Structure 1
Amino acid sequence: MTDSRKVALIGTGGTISAVGSGPYDLIDYDANGQMLDAAGVLGLLPRAPLGIDVVTVPHEPISSTGVYLNEWKQLVSTCDELVRDVPDLVGIVISHGTASMEETAYFLNLTLKVRVPVVLVGSQRPSNALSSDAGLNLYNALRVAADPDSWGLGVLVVLNDEIHAARDVTKTSTYRLQTFSSPDVGLLGHCDGDTIAYYRHPVRLGAPNTEFDLAGLDSLPKVGISYSHTGSDGCVIRAFIAAGMRGIVVAAFAPGCFTRDELAALREAVDADIKVVVSTRAGSGRVGDGVELRKNSLIAADNLNPQKARLLLALALTRTADLNEIKRIFVTY
């Protein structure tokens, strides 16, 4: 008999897997073309966390700027297979590039059906850099995935000793180690040397209790993001209409407003049966379901940032084209 807890590690690439040309290569390490697999990433640790038995899972490296539906479907399928085939599995860790980590985490949070904790982890510095954060981030992610208190929290993101909910977290800095933040509601907890310490739970629905199903889904409805700025004349929105987009997310002026020309173009989009969701370019804060949005049949993103609002709208459109149903989905997730 053993008291060890079994955690699977899926290595998909990213800075955490990258091997730079030397200890001071903190920017151009991708050009070196060397990448560790899951076993190699695990090898960054002197040992696995006590009481955790790590099962490494081979996976083709993914550029985090190239990840999309096919790669997400593969990750969902791999998680399903691991839970089905690995006895006594208590958690899954996915190492991932930080550029799109928040989008992968949120998409998985909306589509995974496994009940074990799934934790995404990355790093800001390559694996062999001086003061690399890769090893400690992985160590903490394994601990979080194995912790019984991580059950029922949806998909999690772990970096810099912090635990974040997939829905709330965003990357806020290019190079700083404290890049990941949950601006409106804060982190869920910390990874300290003596314990995994949680302080709050997410309220919005997430994995595995969601209504979205990837079975038979070969593509996502096209949804574009339009960024508001002074002098915006709506040409981007009209280009989206011409391109046959089924949805548009506006990264609007805070707290959710537009130029006059933008609004005119958005009305044209609505008339063309394109669903429009209003987020904000501010980086935090919610968009309220105000009079102007309601009278123009626009949908409030709440506090989802534009890139996450885009994913939720795309998944919503796989289920319904009803305006009120899509509004319900944005309130629910």
Structure 2
Amino acid sequence: MSAALPRIAILATGGTIAGKASSASQTVGYKPGSASVQDILDSVPGLSDVAEITAVQVANIGSEDMTDHIWTKLVRETEKQLADPEIDGVVITHGTDTLEETAFLLNLILKSDKPIVIVGSMRPATSISADGPMNLLNAVRTACSEKSVGKGVLVVLNDEIHGARDVTKTNTTNCATFASPRLGVLGFVTGGIVDFYKASVKPHTTQTQFTSALLNGSDLPLTDIIYAHANEDS
């Protein structure tokens, strides 16, 4: 008898990975958050050979529209899945504009050593050579790997595994947009094989003093980011 496959919960929030355009060559001006989580799963050949999937549609937005309310829904659903002894890991599909913010938040407040992987894409689902299906397959592979246990929240795109604390989006269109400047990637998914070369030593998940009580139904304190530039006004 063959060994049972890992059970992975996929929580969908929308984004380009769920985006649709009017033509296969259109990679700008598309509508993110148009495809359902089931549509996304159906686009990934071989996914059922890697893991047994549980899918939940948490939201279906462009991630520029992410809010504290949606974060709260996502955190509650993620905690529910992580608390299930039958679930081995969680994968979250997400738009790329605020992916790093969601990743860092979850890295601070989730209290589990189970693999938690966030994934997105730079090309819509309808695009020629869409990157979403392979990114999702690699994210699920990463969530299935025992090597991912206790590594904190991970971000997987373009065959690379990044730590939530370090990763940032560096380009608005390039598939190689996500990078971890100065500190570099944690690992790679190559030919279906998940390999780590280092890990974050900063407190994360079970090691931090933060909890999901931060999201208690009220808005988080607003913190604006102000850039200095020539000829700026007051």
Shared fold per TM-score greater than 0.5: yes
Q: What amino acid does structure 1 have at the position aligned with 2:175?
A: L
Report the CA distance between 1:58 and its aligned residue.
Answer: 2.4
Structure 2 vs 1, CA of residues 112 and 65 (structure 1 numbering), >3 Å: closer, same or farther? same
Report the CA distance between 1:184 and its aligned residue.
Answer: 1.3
Match of residue 314 from structure 1: none
Matches within 5 A, 1:1-333: 2-30=3-31, 35-48=34-47, 50-85=49-84, 87-215=85-213, 216=216, 218-232=218-232, 235=234
Structure 2 vs 1, CA of residues 23 and 51 (structure 1 numbering), >3 Å: closer, same or farther? closer
- Contact 1:49–1:139 at 8 Å: present in 2 too? no
Superposed CA RMSD: 1.7
Query: Helix, strand or coil for the counterpart of 2:58?
Result: coil
Q: Distance in 2 between matches of 1:228 and 1:180?
A: 24
Q: Distance in 2 between matches of 1:113 and 1:76?
A: 11
Q: Which runs of 5+ in 1 are unaligned?
A: 236-333
Q: What amino acid does structure 1 have at the position aligned with 2:220?
A: L
- Contact 1:118–1:145 at 8 Å: present in 2 too? yes
Q: Distance in 2 between matches of 1:15 and 1:208?
A: 31
- Contact 1:95–1:122 at 8 Å: present in 2 too? yes
Query: Helix, strand or coil for the counterpart of 1:20?
Result: coil
* Structure 1: 4+ residue segments shifted above 6 A: none
Report the CA distance between 1:83 and its aligned residue.
Answer: 2.4
Query: Helix, strand or coil for the counterpart of 1:223?
Result: coil
Q: Deviations along 1:283-308, whole A, 9 cap, x unmatched?
A: xxxxxxxxxxxxxxxxxxxxxxxxxx
Whichever of the two has the greater Rg, that structure is 1
- TM-score, structure 2 as length reference: 0.93
Q: Which runs of 5+ in 2 are unaligned?
A: none
Say which structure, 1 or 2, has more relative contact order (CA 8 Å, 6+ apart). Answer: 2
Q: What amino acid does structure 2 have at the position aligned with 1:226?
A: I
Q: Distance in 1 between matches of 2:132 and 2:28?
A: 15
The sequence identity of aligned pairs, in percent, is 39
Q: Deviations along 1:149-179, whole A, 9 cap, x unmatched?
A: 1011111100000000011000001111100
Number of equivalences: 231
Query: Helix, strand or coil for the counterpart of 1:205?
Result: coil
